[in-house]
Amino acid sequence: MIRFLVKRILLTVPTFIALIFLVFVAIRLVPGDPVEVRVGEHGISPERLALLRHELGLDQPVWKQFLDYLWQLGHGDFGRSLSTSNSVLGEFFTLFPATLELAAAGMLLAVVLGIPMGVVAAVKRGSIFDQGLMGLSVAGYSMPIFWWGLLLIMLVAERWGLAPVSGRLDFVRFDYDTPTGFMLIDSLLSGEDGAFVDALRHLMLPAIVLGTIPLAVIARMTRSSMLEVLSEDYVRTARAKGLSPFRVVGLHALRNALIPVVTVIGLMTGTLLAGAVLTETIFSWPGVGKWLIDAISRRDYPALEGGIILISALVILVNLVVDLVYGVINPRILHGR
Amino acid sequence: MSLLDIQNLRVRFATRGGAFTAVDGVDLAVDPREIVAVVGESGSGKSVAMLAVMGLLPWTATVEADRMSFDGIDLLGLSAKARRRIIGRDIAMIFQEPMSSLNPCFTVGFQIREMLKAHTGLDRAGRQARAIELLAKVGIPEPERRLKSYPHQMSGGMSQRVMIAMAISCDPKLLIADEPTTALDVTIQAQILDLLAQLQRDTGMGLVLITHDMGVVAEVAHRVLVQYAGRPVETNGAEALFADRHHPYTEALLAALPERASARRLPAIPGVVPGQFDRPKACVFSPRCRFAFDLCREVAPTPAGPELGRALCHIPLVDGVPTPVRAEAYRLRQGVPA
């Protein structure tokens, strides 16, 4: 177990170096550098341009810049944002809880609804419920996120007034410290009346929008995996033991059927963390997705590089956790190693 | 009174190509302490008949019978819930593929204790003790340690022993073994068979042994039901059956035993068991029967008397010679016009 962990972590080191290199080169291939973007259309004297570039180290050859950056990273220094002069690490972790909260809520919704829906569809295959659900899941999967988000804002928020349009909290009504950055937790800690409900209401629509695609994928995946497992010999054995259908399906079959579903959940959690760019933009959700998009348009090299590296680290971490969860669900995987 | 009493069992499957009758008019009675072998090639509906008793057929199956009772309880009219109380406790079943019949996600111990939890009032410690006792009973060394094993850590023979331990955990009155040795190595086959026979002797349970191996039948069975294409073609005591076979199919099955081969080529029954669309109208075995004549292809035979093993044949064999028992068959056979 420990050996497996150490091996997995060591294997991520080359992945990281390759990743940093890719990000580093790709951003420099985009026309325009931070100085040019900041100068904009006003123009600048060539001497001043050269001076600014020298200050930022942009006059060095790219390989030198890369090595310098690696050296800097090696000391745990992600640098400062060129646009705000704040430390990249600080900015990232100020915004990250918002993204994490949204991703967790969306994923929770998708898992809690998707797995039971898939199981019921598989058990009642061919029924109206099954056909309806699979039709809906195609719709959910292929629906453009921005359209779905706007539709919900128009109907649920505007017409019915059931949820706020944007943001994480009604800052006109509430004002309190946010020590954890997770609005749901902070609102509870604040002790302010109604703050938690308000935070929850703000989270509702973005979570639904973000969770829609994972929900569709998880429901389909669970259904097909379950259909396969239900015809396995060991499910017949479980029935032959005289166990209740609930136990046969919910324990003996589901435990096996979950293995591919967990993979999908892991992969999707990764993409959700990488910033639900569209969802965050539609709902003005102050998370890292929106921050990264801004960093690209400002050619904010340190923010972009740092942000992508941090997110990648998180995605790799999630995948590691998924691998460990496999082992818990299916002992064959751990013993096989 | 018979432990298991089945009369005129019919199982139909709804398929895309229409209804398919997998079991057609099977009678089977199993007494306590009796080993009954159900014999036939793949596709003759042996497993389906027994799965019907267990209530384990998929929803596409329709089960009908004049009578299907176990220990005086009518299985046909039983609710699913009431049947689940009997299944596993009083009637247990083991299957052909032991490796895939155990759930890969749970330890052997969990799967045995689960059965005990479902059907007995034993507490946690009692279940653990009983599980150890059961593994020892089926000849698994270091039972306490083995309980913590997962199915993939065990061999096929070991897995089948675990399946047997699980099946006998609640002291069933009837055990149905569906080709329990087919997937195993030849050396292990004999061990598993001996184990089943010994457990049957010790506990006095009834045992239905589904097999296509006449050698297995000869070794353990008290009584034999030969099934072909869903129909019972011959039934008799094991001794009587091995002394003289009355249905050509039974004769052919026995002749196909490799041990009996004298020529260079192994003997085989030509052709295959007919499927859904190529069932002959009259005698289902006629296309493969070396004694078949006009009548066999035109009129369905009726079972002969018990002295001829209820052979479903116009001309049951006596000492290997076709013997027309009905006048009509006799005349046709002899070419004498009616």
With cut-offs at 50, 70 and 90, classify the pLDDT of residue B169: very high
pLDDT recorded at residue A246: 94
For the segment A44-56, what is each residue's pLDDT rounded down to a tens digit? 788 888 888 887 7
What average pLDDT does this structure show over B261-272?
77
pLDDT recorded at residue A236: 95
For the segment B231-255, what is each residue's pLDDT rounded down to a tens digit? 999 999 999 999 999 999 999 888 8
Q: Is A295 within 8 Å of A84 (Cβ atoms)?
A: no
B335: Cα separation from own chain's centroid: 39
Do the domain assignments include residue B49? no
For A233, the closest chain B residue by CA position comes to B101
Q: In terms of residue numbers, what domain contains B275?
A: 241-334
- Give the dihedral of Cα atoms A220, A223, A227, A232; nearest 10 deg: 110
**Do B100 and A238 count as a contact with CB atoms less than 8 A apart?**
no
Do the domain assignments include residue B190? no
Does residue B184 surpass a pLDDT of 50? yes
Write out chain A residues lying below 8 Å of B115, CB-based: 241
Q: Which two tokens stand for residue B192?
A: 């598993």
What average pLDDT does this structure show over B96-115?
94
**Do A241 and B166 count as a contact with CB atoms less than 8 A apart?**
yes
Do the domain assignments include residue B122? yes
For the segment A227-244, what is each residue's pLDDT rounded down to a tens digit? 999 999 999 999 999 999
Rounded CA-CA distance A132/B232 in Å is 45
Q: What is the ipTM of this complex?
A: 0.88
Between A152 and A174, name the one with better pLDDT: A152
Write the CB contacts of B203 (distance below 8 Å, at least 6 apart in sequence).
B168, B171
Does residue B111 surpass a pLDDT of 60? yes
What average pLDDT does this structure show over B313-319?
88
Pairing of strands B206-211, B223-228: unpaired
pLDDT recorded at residue B335: 60
Between A59 and B227, name the one with better pLDDT: B227
pLDDT recorded at residue A275: 56
List the single best residue of B103, B112, B117, B152 to mutate versus A (max A Cβ within 10 A).
Answer: B103
Write the CB contacts of A64 (distance below 8 Å, at least 6 apart in sequence).
none
Specify the range with the lowest mean pLDDT, choosing from A209-223, B201-215, B273-287, B314-328.
B314-328
From B111, B144, B169, the end of a domain falls on: B169
Rounded CA-CA distance A100/A276 in Å is 10
Between A122 and A326, name the one with better pLDDT: A122
Q: Which residues pair with B39 in a beta bridge?
A: B211, B226
pLDDT recorded at residue B338: 44
**Chain B residues within 8 Å of chain A (Cβ atoms):** 54, 56, 83-89, 92-93, 95, 97, 100-106, 114-115, 118-119, 150, 152-153, 163, 166
For the segment B42-99, what is each residue's pLDDT rounded down to a tens digit? 888 899 999 999 999 988 899 999 999 999 999 998 898 999 999 999 999 999 999 9
pLDDT recorded at residue A131: 94
Pairing of strands B18-30, B206-211: unpaired
pLDDT recorded at residue B332: 64
**Do A243 and B84 count as a contact with CB atoms less than 8 A apart?**
yes
Pairing of strands B61-64, B67-70: unpaired
Q: What percent of chain B has pLDDT over 70?
A: 96
Rounded CA-CA distance A170/A142 in Å is 32
Tally of domains within chain B:
2
Minimal C-alpha gap between A256 and chain B (Å):
7
Do the domain assignments include residue B48? no
**Do B101 and A234 count as a contact with CB atoms less than 8 A apart?**
yes
Q: How far is CA B91 from CA A242, B3, B120, B172, in A?
A: 10, 10, 14, 5
Rounded CA-CA distance A249/A58 in Å is 61
Average pLDDT, chain B: 89
Does residue B325 surpass a pLDDT of 70? no
DSSP state of B87: B
Between B296 and A216, name the one with better pLDDT: A216
Do the domain assignments include residue B188? no
What average pLDDT does this structure show over A267-283?
80
Mention the CATH class of domain A88-336. Answer: mainly alpha
From B116, B134, B169, the end of a domain falls on: B169
Do the domain assignments include residue B133? yes
B98: Cα separation from own chain's centroid: 16
Write out chain A residues lying below 8 Å of B105, CB-based: 252, 255-256, 329-331
Does residue B7 surpass a pLDDT of 90? yes
Q: What percent of chain A has pLDDT over 70?
A: 96
